Amino acid sequence: MTETKLNDTVTGLLATANSLYPGNITVSFGDAKAGYVRHDQAQQRMQNGDIDIHVSDITAPSYTASHEMLHLLLLLQGFPQITFNLTTRDDRLDEQLMAIAMELYDMVGHVLVVRKQREHGLIDDQIEDLYFKSVAATIEPEDPDQQDAMMTLRLLTLTDLLVFFGGDLTPARLSQVQTTYPVAFKAAQALYDVIAAKAVDTPFAMRRTIVKLFKAFDDQMTAWQLPLLHGTEFVTVQNVFSERQLRLEVRQLFDVFHSDMLDKNKHTRAYIGLNKGDRQNAFVIPAPAQKDSDAFFKEIYGKTVKDSFAELDVPYTLR
């Protein structure tokens, strides 16, 4: 059996990632060959501070490894992460919401990841064919007579397809998705327009697009009368501050509200810090025991953003 190896370009990306990460980053391979490429064919596995990028499917190992590696590089370079600090009290629902939010978050990251892959020559005609094959392997054709439970997955898959191709499908591919998924593809084009409206090239721009995409996704769910993500409340999106903003008081940048959801770790009442500008969840605070709410809010609002985030141990990125 031939040993699976990375090409020189991806080996170079691995060296770059290792230069930025305090631990050790390695790549390992499985032996599956699906005959298409999809973004779930590699995962990051943490162990004792080290990261192993495990490529479970080796249909196109250098492409798949580089994709996961570039996601990791975004984080190492200060691009915003999302975290899940709240619970709906329903574990299954939490998992569904987290999965959808991660798909939307990754789509925005894919603007940067795919761009880098194309710059490095890691996406060619063959990879494009293998990627397009994954669509039919992931989602079934629409039933023209009824809306089924797969509409959300179709929307996510087709929006990501548009990101991969930069919104520019060949006539044959465009005809195929329009014919097979007419309703979902039209909705995917609307979400892609949100992603592509402004350049995603900085941490600030990435955060802005993530927040807008959460809202656009819920607008589509409303139109389809499907359950909402409520990403602006459920998902904590890492903040991107200027030096000036760090010196401001919390009250100047955030509104702190009691949430109907619970703090995920302590299972107590939770307070959410919403960004005044876009109303996105910026941090979550479990309600403190034995402290009246007036004193609690006065203490939070009176601190500088820098001091407050340090005390709460909430990461952020500087513009």
Domain that holds residue 298: 238-318
208 CB-contact burial (10 Å; exposed 0-12 / middle 13-18 / buried 19+)? buried
98: which 2 tokens?
């987290």
Give a yes or no: residue 24 inside a domain: yes
Digit-coded pLDDT (tens) for 255-300: 999 899 999 998 888 999 999 999 999 999 988 776 667 777 888 8
Residue 88 to residue 97: CA distance in whole angstroms: 10
Q: Domain ends where: 28, 55, 77?
A: 77
Tell me what pLDDT residue 292 has. 67
Residue 113 to residue 105: CA distance in whole angstroms: 12
Give a yes or no: residue 274 inside a domain: yes
| Coil/strand/helix, residue 56 | strand
Give a yes or no: residue 281 inside a domain: yes
Q: Domain ends where: 77, 110, 129?
A: 77
Q: Domain ends where: 16, 49, 77?
A: 77
Beta bridge partners of 304: 249
Asked whether residue 1 carries a pLDDT value surpassing 60, the answer given is no
What average pLDDT does the structure give for the chain? 95
Tell me what pLDDT residue 291 has. 62
Rg (CA), the chain: 21
Q: Residue 109: pLDDT band by 50, 70, 90 thresholds?
A: very high
Digit-coded pLDDT (tens) for 156-200: 999 999 999 999 999 999 999 999 999 999 999 999 999 999 999
Q: What secondary structure letter does DSSP report for 39? A: G
Give a yes or no: residue 208 inside a domain: no
Give a yes or no: residue 169 inside a domain: no
Digit-coded pLDDT (tens) for 53-107: 999 999 999 999 999 999 999 999 999 999 999 999 999 999 999 999 999 999 9
308 neighbors 271 (Cβ within 8 angstroms):
no
Give a yes or no: residue 31 inside a domain: yes
Give a yes or no: residue 111 inside a domain: no
- In the chain, the number of structural domains is 2
Residue from 84, 107, 106 nearest 97 by CA:
84
93 neighbors 116 (Cβ within 8 angstroms):
no
- Mean pLDDT of the region 13-33: 95
Give a yes or no: residue 26 inside a domain: yes
